[in-house]
Chains A and B, each alone.
Chain A
Amino acid sequence: MSFEMKQLGDVTVIDVEGQLIVGNRQELKQRVLAELDAGRRKFLIDFSSTGYIDSSGLGVLVSLSKKIRELGGELRLANLNEDLRTLFELTKLDTLFHIAGHRDEALASF
């Protein structure tokens, strides 16, 4: 599992490969916080290569969303598979996040 981060214009795009779970959630958090410190404010997390997010992973997304909003930024999520969408819907986190079907749709929404 790993995170790949790149800039598309003024948007920081993060690809989550494998899983976002208790064992790696802090790495994602630290990397996004470092980008915030560097002045970045637009973030897109792309889950097209993500098999599973556990409750700790959901929790870190909630924390990051809050932090980004506090600093006047925006967070988009994209490419959740059917199982991941079910987890967001069950926990009602689909009401908290801007979730796009595809990366292009998410990029266009900033």
Chain B
Amino acid sequence: MQLDYLLELPNDLKAIERSVDYLVDRAREAGFEDDRLRLNFRVGLTEALANAMLYGNCHDPRKRVRIEASLSRDELAVQVTDEGCGFNPASILDPTLPANRQLPCGRGLFLIRNLMDRVEFNERGNSIRMVLLRQPAVPGERASGP
């Protein structure tokens, strides 16, 4: 079983909540754990969309953000792509280091990396792919579906 979804959003922060709710509802219907959807997936996708609109598309209302999501037996994968020129994810500081903890920004990508099970970027750096496994990954073991 695989269900695919494609959403194209205007570059408007107000569009985030509705699209996240839509995908959370689809994943809930497919039997994903509510706790992981409410925290891990919601935060991960919301942060990725905000980053795409604010930093990728630089607030430009003429640009759009594309969400491609696929739901399978084992995982929920979602790719967020903006129309910007990309960035180097390695350039983002670790906000948990004592020296960076008082900085007002830089926590979005950190949260994504810590709440989703897999995170990848395309070479250009304008597209992020995030995967949430149906069963939380256990270190040293391969996650499997029910």
CB pair B38–A83 under 8 Å, yes or no, is: yes
Size of the B side of the interface (Cβ < 8 Å), in residues, is 23
A52 CA to B39 CA, complexed, in Å: 9
Chain A contacts for B102, CB-based, 8 A: 62, 66, 96
CB pair A55–B96 under 8 Å, yes or no, is: no
A63 CA to B46 CA, complexed, in Å: 22
A35 within 8 A of B: no
Interface residues on A, range: 20 to 34
CB pair A91–B39 under 8 Å, yes or no, is: no
> How many contacting A-B pairs (Cβ < 8 A)?
58
CB pair A52–B111 under 8 Å, yes or no, is: no
Quick one: given A66-B102, A92-B96, A93-B101, are A55 and B13 in contact (CB under 8 Å)?
A: no
A86 CA to B35 CA, complexed, in Å: 12
Per the 8 Å Cβ criterion, residues 24-44 of B in contact with A are 38-39, 42-43
> How many Å from the CB of A75 to the closest CB on chain B?
13
CB nearest to A92 among chain B residues? B96
Chain B contacts for A59, CB-based, 8 A: 103-105, 107
The interface residues of chain B, by DSSP majority, are classed as helix
B142 within 8 A of A: no
CB pair A54–B43 under 8 Å, yes or no, is: yes
A22-61 vs B, Cβ < 8 Å mask (1 yes, 0 no): 1100000000000000000000000000001011101110
Candidates B13, B46, B114; contact of A90 at CB < 8 Å: B114
A28 CA to B58 CA, complexed, in Å: 23
A95 CA to B101 CA, complexed, in Å: 9
CB pair B111–A90 under 8 Å, yes or no, is: yes
A23 CA to B13 CA, complexed, in Å: 7
Chain B contacts to A: CB under 8 angstroms = 13-14, 38-39, 42-43, 46-47, 50, 54, 95-96, 101-105, 107-108, 110-111, 114-115
6 tightest A-B CB contacts, nearest first: A55-B107, A59-B104, A55-B108, A92-B96, A63-B104, A83-B39
CB pairs A–B below 8 angstroms (13 shown): A23-B13, A54-B47, A54-B50, A54-B108, A55-B47, A55-B110, A55-B111, A58-B107, A59-B107, A62-B102, A63-B104, A90-B96, A92-B95
